[in-house]
Amino acid sequence: MNKVMVRSFVTLLVMLQIASAQDYKMRMSSISAMANNVTYSEGWWDAGIHLVGSLGLPVITKSSGAGIGLASGFWVVTQGFYLEPPIVEQFVIMDPQLQVGQGVNVMAKFSDFNGILNASIFVNVGGTDTTLTFPMVRGDSTFTAFIPDSLVKIENFIASVGVLDSLYYVALSDYISAPVLFDEDEPTSRVDDSAYPTGLPIEKWRLVSFPGELDNGAISSKGLNTKHVFYSRDWDNNTWGVPDTLYLGEAYWFKHQYGKKIDFTPGAGTSLPLESFDMELFPGWNFVGNPFFFTVPISLDQGDLTGPYTYGIGEKSGWSEVVTEMQPWGGYLINNNTDTLQVIELMPTAVEVADNSGLNRVPAGPPPRMAINAWRLRISADSEHYFDHNNYIGRDFRSTEGLDRGDLYEPPMIDGHLAVGLSPEADGDYYHTTDIRSINEVNGVWDLRVVSQEKDGPVDIQIHAVDEPPENIVVALVDLQKKAAYRDIMETGIRIAEKATVGYDLKMVIGESEFVENEIQRILDGMPMEYALGYNYPNPFNANTRLDYSLPVRSHVSVRLYNMLGQEVAVLVNEEQSYGNRYVVWNGLNKQG
């Protein structure tokens, strides 16, 4: 036997031994292949191909009518290595401290069975939608890239890395961000994205805040002297005071007398990394500000948390409607309707950014739950110099018919203003800015009063649908001063020509058509037609005597008693009163008792 035959025989034995040891069972149908087309003809079985190996479960199990695929065992293990995408093991900012206007170095490490083809970084400047891409440079064991100094701005930035392997599998990292230092001349409130892009108006109260962490915690002396004032709210004592320190994320009342619009340059500090910012909200009203140097979105459920509202539009002063974004340098008001501290996360970007712990944060503020019969209307009032846009009536699944936590008091004011007051309990007190009731009722009457602390000309009232009432619900308004009903108030609004310094009373009648018509008639029928003063009774020689009078509209009422010499004896009434039939009792005593 020659050597060739020996080698062949040994090889055959080895193959037979391997086949026996692996316990392969092979049955084949007739398969032919040409180019990219594959055909087959059925054999005497229909079990297809069944390979069983000692390495584990069947590695190939397919019927004769299907393609051959790998299920497990050695083949799928090796194939799995190639199918796995790259892994981003590390992506960091290399510079220990970042400064506005100075470029930034970043580094990444990857692992991949197939070999890395290339990698790039993706950079977004805060407040922009544009993503800029820069290639990474391959080193011995890492990849590096440089973020140009033109992108390192006071708005800060986020960056991520993408990597591609030789089989074109892709992996993306989390976004990262870091604090960025800025010099004293860098921040200014006179920018396009500011709440005050043209400066703060003269002699107008405005809510302001300061983005970034200031080094000295106070405004610098850039052009400001004694002709301005800051105020913050002392909630414990319910008073206004001058703050000692300006805190991140808080808002302050500000007013100046410099003869022209001014802007803020608060000095050096640090721009926050573009991670979620925890904003603490104490029970009641909170004055808050945007800590970032660009506009950020905010969405509250208008249940436990209501707002935010801002103050002032252009040259006019007053509370806005609910806003859905917070601009830098502006101040906002949010009400926490619960009895405990609430924390919301203000998200500066639409993507999740990895914080220092490696955890991703998610935004707070789920959308409000809707229910049958739920609706909400916003009532706005505008005069020449003032406005009030944050008054709401409606029905909600979280509210009751009586006074509850959804009925908010008017926000704290610091100066003269125009206001629409609501009276949830119809008790003559108009101190609320919302009157939200239960969805278990359909019909109702809401009491409103428009009042201004200054004579500011006509007042325009408009009704806006935030959440439309059901189709069977009619919305009407009764003007108690004019004794007129408006059934198309949603389309037309009304104008109050009289000065509102006394208080202008209105009623919103909302519900089913029959209820609305009957209630309007009942209200109008119950109003006196003219001013009237009745006779006193019993006679004045009794211990007490009663004096009746009628008011056709809300008025300032003065009832005084005089003797025969024309001398004032007593003042029985000296106040504003609503329309209706009224009386006062005199006990026979003079002013001295």
pLDDT at res. 540: 58
Q: What's the distance, CA 293 to chain centroid? A: 17
Identify any residues that bridge with 143 across adjacent strands, giving them in sequence order.
108, 138
Structural element, H or E, at residue 14: helix 3-22
Q: Provide mean pLDDT across the span 91-96.
A: 93
Least-confidence region, from 349-353, 476-480, 558-562: 349-353
pLDDT at res. 359: 31
Question: DSSP letter string over 315-340?
Answer: TEEEE----SEE-TTBEEEEEE-SSS
pLDDT, tens only, 251-287: 999 888 888 888 888 889 999 999 999 999 998 889 9
* In the predicted structure, residue 591 carries a pLDDT above the cut 50: yes
Please give the Cα distance from 152 to 119 (Å, whole number): 21
Question: DSSP letter string over 472-495?
Answer: T-EEEEEETTTTEEETTHHHH-EE
* Helix spans in 393-546 (H): 489-492, 513-525
Tell which residue, 120, 265, 114, 287, has the closest CA to residue 187.
265
Alpha carbon of 453 to those of 166, 174, 253, 474, 566: distances in Å?
74, 54, 19, 33, 34
Tokens encoding 406: 């959804």
Sign of CA dihedral 296, 302, 304, 306: positive
Tell which residue, 135, 173, 129, 122, has the closest CA to residue 155.
129
Please give the Cα distance from 352 to 102 (Å, whole number): 25
Decide: residue 184, CB within 10 A, 0-12 exposed, 13-18 middle, 19+ buried: middle
- 325-326 and 331-336 as β-strands: parallel, antiparallel, unpaired? unpaired
Please give the Cα distance from 428 to 184 (Å, whole number): 53
pLDDT, tens only, 202-252: 888 899 999 999 887 655 444 445 677 777 777 666 677 777 778 899 999
What is the pTM for the complete model shown?
Answer: 0.69
Rounded to the nearest 5 degrees, what angle is found at the Cα of 499, between the Cα atoms of 498 and 503?
100
Sign of CA dihedral 63, 64, 66, 71: positive
- 494-496 and 459-467 as β-strands: parallel, antiparallel, unpaired? antiparallel
Residue 562: how many other CB atoms lie within 10 Å: 10
406 in Cβ contact with 433 (< 8 Å): no
Sign of CA dihedral 449, 454, 458, 464: negative
Rounded to the nearest 5 degrees, what angle is found at the Cα of 246, between the Cα atoms of 244 and 249?
145
Residue 246: how many other CB atoms lie within 10 Å: 19
Structural domains of the chain sorted by starting position, each given as residue range(s) with its CATH number in brackets: 25-83 (no CATH), 87-181 (2.60.40.10), 189-346 (no CATH), 375-525 (no CATH), 532-586 (no CATH)
Decide: residue 580, CB within 10 A, 0-12 exposed, 13-18 middle, 19+ buried: middle
Structural element, H or E, at residue 364: none
473 in Cβ contact with 375 (< 8 Å): yes
pLDDT, tens only, 372-425: 788 999 999 988 888 899 899 999 888 888 888 778 888 877 766 788 989 888
pLDDT, tens only, 295-353: 999 999 888 899 999 999 888 888 999 999 999 999 999 999 888 999 999 999 876 55
pLDDT at res. 395: 92
Q: Provide mean pLDDT across the span 432-452.
A: 91
Please give the Cα distance from 307 to 536 (Å, whole number): 51
Residue 503: how many other CB atoms lie within 10 Å: 18
Structural element, H or E, at residue 22: helix 3-22
